[in-house]
Amino acid sequence: QVQLVDSGGGSVQPGGSLRLSCETSRLTLDYYDIGWFRQIAGKERERVSCISSTDGTTYYEDSVKGRFTISRDNAKNTVYMEMNSLKPEDTAVYYCAAEGPPYSGNCSIAEYWGQGTQVTVSS
C-alpha cells in the first residue's frame, strides 16, 4: 500500500553534493511523515532527517545539521534530501521511510521503507 522509490545516490569527492529523491504517492505524502535513514557499513541503521506531513516541520540529526536539507514537492509526489559538504563518514546506503499516525514527530517509528541508494564519498 505504501510504496517508496528512492534514488539519486552515487560517488562524489569530499565536499561534493548529491540530491536524493524519494518518490511515493499523493496519499502517502498526505498522511505519512517521510524521513531519510542511512546504514553505514558495520553499523545499525540511523535516522538522518524527517519532514512532517502535517505542518512541514523538519528534523535533522546533529551530524548533518547545516549540511543536509529535506524538502517535499507535492506536485511530484517526491521528498528530496539535498546533501552538501559531504564527508567520507557520510558514506552509506540511504533509505527513505514513511511513518503514519500516531506520529512520533521525528520519524523515529517509521515502518515502510524504500530499497536504498548507495552514497559513496571518497577521494
pLDDT of residue 72: 97
Q: How confident is the model at residue 32 (pLDDT cuts 50, 70, 90)?
A: very high
46-68 pLDDT, tens digit per residue, is 999 999 999 999 999 999 999 99
Q: Average pLDDT, stretch 109-118? A: 97
Query: Scanning the structure block, which residue is given the C-alpha cell 541508494?
Result: 117
pLDDT of residue 4: 98
Residue 1 in this model has a pLDDT that exceeds 90: no
Rg, the chain, Cα only:
13
Q: Average pLDDT, stretch 63-88? A: 98
Q: Give the burial class of 33: count Cβ atoms within 10 A of its Cβ; 0-12 exposed, 13-18 middle, 19 or more buried.
A: buried
Q: Average pLDDT, stretch 86-91? A: 98
Report the mean per-residue pLDDT for the chain.
Answer: 97
Q: Average pLDDT, stretch 109-116? A: 97
What percent of the chain clears pLDDT 70, i.e. is strictly above it? 100
